[in-house]
Amino acid sequence: MANNTDYLLAVEGLTVSFDGFKAVNDLSFYVDSNEIHVIIGPNGAGKTTVLDLICGRTKASGGSIKFRNKELTAMKEHQIVTAGVGRKFQNPSIYDDLTVFENLEISYPRGRSVFGALAFKRDAAVRERVAEIAEMIFLSDHLDQRAEYLSHGQKQWLEIGMLLIQDPELLMLDEPVAGMSVNERKKTAELLNRIIQNRSVLVIEHDMKFVEDIAHRVTVLHQGKILSEGSMERVKNDPKVVEVYLGH
Amino acid sequence: MTRNPQNGLLGRIDGDVAGILLLAALLVVVLPLGLDIFRLNMVGKYLTYAFVALGLVLCWGSAGILSLGQGIFFGIGGYCMAMFLKLEASSPEATKIQSTPGIPDFMDWNQLTALPWFWEPFHSLTFSIVAVVAVPALLAFIVGLAMFKRRVGGVYFAIITQAFAAILTILIVGQQGYTGGINGITDLRTLKGWDIRTDEAKLVLYFVNAALLIGCILLCLYVRRSKLGRILVALRDKEDRVRFSGYDVANFKIFVFCFAAALSAVGGAMFTLQVGFMSPSFVGIVPSIEMVIYCAVGGRLSLLGAVYGTLLVNWAKTMLSESFPELWLFAMGALFIGVVMVFPNGLAGLYQQYIAPRLRRPTVGRTTIPAAAPIIPPHTAAD
């Protein structure tokens, strides 16, 4: 049984199986407050599944996920968001038919009930916060543009912005720099370094250079299990890791 | 109006309000002056379907929830009104030749000797008016709760609404003694002593109907302009993302489904008042699909487009049925195929693409939009 812990996020004995195939098998790891925790691993290691489990998209077959000692496995997606967990998807997941402003406004944490949304007023507080976030994600000049017409990198930033406006305590990012140009990648690393203040971040990433730049702690997943864990330095020199992953 | 974020808030308000004023002028001034009372009453009948189309614009156009059972709510709204009128027409004096005087004639023919319990409250006009909106909304709430909380959506939802439409028709036809069966509830005469069959009453009801319709358009406009309206669009495109923005998606779908149901029901009640009867032929699968076509022809993304679409399709239906009765069904099928393949955003889409840019050209300097840019990229409508 998972007991109460001081960790922000405590994943213990987490298991999920799809038709007998254990995508994640008896997984345990912890994320501290203000920690940047990176999960790496070869394709099919179960990285994205772990994020899906934490944010409630996939239901666990066993084990527990505790966020500030609240059990997440029994909660619905929107309740997990309200509890303070934000998730960025691998492919930019934004609202194409809405403008950048509206995308951010929808993510603003107020008026989330049906009648709250009907009565929602676009007041100064909302406008200021949207402007502030837009500035941060380099999209100040695009607020009135339909999100559909943004470039791939801009879409990724917009989704990060949508998370920031939620102000989650735990931010989960699934390959935030995948498909970005070198220039965009640099700007994103800069952006991430700025937004991690006062929150924990759980990142899945393939780009080793990027991981080295940001990670406090690294977990290597392989076939749904932890292969190695620790600082990037330690993990990099672990012969098991070299064999299945880094050596390739 | 079709979503057009590039146009800026000012442009949108101008466009919408101007469009509504134009429609109001058409309905309240032009048509009453130009048509005799028989045709005007017919337009009034068409306009009752426009309430359904408005509901579909929100439910289907905005939120992407296709309901093929809006006839259910139109019908229930109509039946609630018809029950009140029927009871008023079935006073003991008026029905003294029946074996049980004081109950509706069809009950007497079906050997019922007392008014069923669920008919009793319909002696009250206030109750009936509340029921017109509340009963369909409650039914929509129950269906919505059962479906959307389990995340049933898309085609499955559409099929289930069809099944409900079929069930309700069978129920109404089968329970003849309680519902009037296949003939429906007919021979409605007065509303609180006011004879609704006279030309004068038809004229008044036409204006009441037009006013209600404009009111409902404004209400829909408010909903679409609120954050809830934008959430509906968001969940049409990326339902999952909305969940992870912290919203309980099912509640929003239930709301819009109930809202559309209530609108349809208002239309149904006005239908009963203007046409003078209600029958299961307005409840089932075929009328429900016809109502979707009205909305599709007008443009499922546009409130005003849906109203014009309803008027146009019904007018065509009447004209064609008067000259070639057997052709109408084929024409309707062709129309649906045509809309889907050639102009998926309906008349409103064509207007936005070809006419609106020309109208806007002189003011380009003020609105800073390239006038020639198509407002809706053609591919967005197809999915």
Gap between the Cα atoms of A91 and B138, Å rounded: 39
Task: Tell me the pLDDT of chain B averaged across its residues.
Answer: 89
pLDDT digits (tens, 9 = 90+) for B108-120: 999 999 999 999 9
Gap between the Cα atoms of B380 and B374, Å rounded: 12
Give CA torsion, residues B39, B40, B42, B43, to 10 deg: 120
pLDDT digits (tens, 9 = 90+) for B185-236: 999 999 999 999 999 999 999 999 999 999 999 999 999 999 999 999 999 9
List CB contacts (< 8 A) between A96 and chain B.
Answer: 237-238, 380
User: Would the pLDDT of B42 be above 80?
Assistant: yes
User: Would the pLDDT of B277 be above 50?
Assistant: yes
Structural domain includes residue B57: yes
Q: How many domains does chain B have?
A: 1
- Which pLDDT does position A104 carry in this prediction? 96
Share of chain B above pLDDT 90, in %: 76
User: Would the pLDDT of B333 be above 50?
Assistant: yes
Q: Which residues pair with A88 in a beta bridge?
A: A173
**B228 part of contact set with chain A, CB < 8 Å:** yes
Gap between the Cα atoms of B40 and B35, Å rounded: 6
Structural domain includes residue B379: no
From residue B95, how far is each of A7, A129, B102, B105, B350 by CA, in Å? 79, 69, 6, 7, 55
**B251 part of contact set with chain A, CB < 8 Å:** yes
Indicate yes or no: CB of A93 within 8 angstroms of CB of B6. Answer: no
Indicate yes or no: CB of A99 within 8 angstroms of CB of B242. Answer: no
User: Taking the CB of residue A114, how many other CB atoms lie within 10 A of it?
Assistant: 18
Task: Tell me how close the Cα of A126 comes to any Cα of chain B, in angstroms.
Answer: 12
Confidence of residue B376 (pLDDT cuts 50, 70, 90): very low
- Which pLDDT does position B365 carry in this prediction? 41
Question: Which of the residues A57, A59, A94, A98 would you substitute to probe the B interface, choosing the one with the greatest number of B C-beta atoms within 10 Å?
Answer: A98
- Which pLDDT does position B143 carry in this prediction? 96
Contact B306, B59 (CB under 8 A): no
List CB contacts (< 8 A) between B381 and chain A.
Answer: none
Q: What crossing angle do the helices spanning A100-107 and A152-166 adopt, rounded to 10°?
A: 30
- Which pLDDT does position A4 carry in this prediction? 62
Indicate yes or no: CB of B246 within 8 angstroms of CB of A57. Answer: no
Structural domain includes residue B198: yes
Q: Are strands A62-67 and A9-18 parallel, antiparallel or unpaired?
A: antiparallel
Structural domain includes residue B141: yes
* Mean pLDDT score, A129-151: 94
Structural domain includes residue B347: no
CATH ID of A1-84+205-248, from 3.40.50.300, 3.40.50.970, 2.40.37.10, 3.40.50.1000: 3.40.50.300
Q: What is the DSSP letter of B52?
A: H
Confidence of residue A1 (pLDDT cuts 50, 70, 90): very low
List CB contacts (< 8 A) between B224 and chain A.
Answer: none
Gap between the Cα atoms of B66 and B83, Å rounded: 29
**Position B320, amino acid:** L
- Going by C-alpha positions, the residue among B262, B75, B103 that lies closest to residue B170 is B75
> In which domain, by residue range, is B173 found?
15-327
Tokens of B32: 């009453």
Q: What angle do CA A173, A179, A182 make, to 5 degrees?
A: 100
Please state the domain extents for chain A: 1-84+205-248
- Which pLDDT does position B13 carry in this prediction? 55
- pTM for this structure? 0.89
Confidence of residue A242 (pLDDT cuts 50, 70, 90): confident
Structural domain includes residue B364: no
User: Would the pLDDT of A129 be above 70?
Assistant: yes
Phi, psi for residue A24 in degrees, rounded to 5: -135, 130
> Exposed, middle or buried, A139 (CB in 10 Å: 0-12/13-18/19+)?
buried
Tokens of B363: 């003011």
- Which pLDDT does position B338 carry in this prediction? 87
Gap between the Cα atoms of B276 and B281, Å rounded: 14
Structural domain includes residue B241: yes
**B241 part of contact set with chain A, CB < 8 Å:** yes
More reliable by pLDDT, B368 or B106 = B106
Q: What is the DSSP letter of B244?
A: T
User: Would the pLDDT of B368 be above 50?
Assistant: no
Q: What is the DSSP letter of A3?
A: P
Structural domain includes residue B201: yes
Task: Tell me the pLDDT of chain A averaged across its residues.
Answer: 89
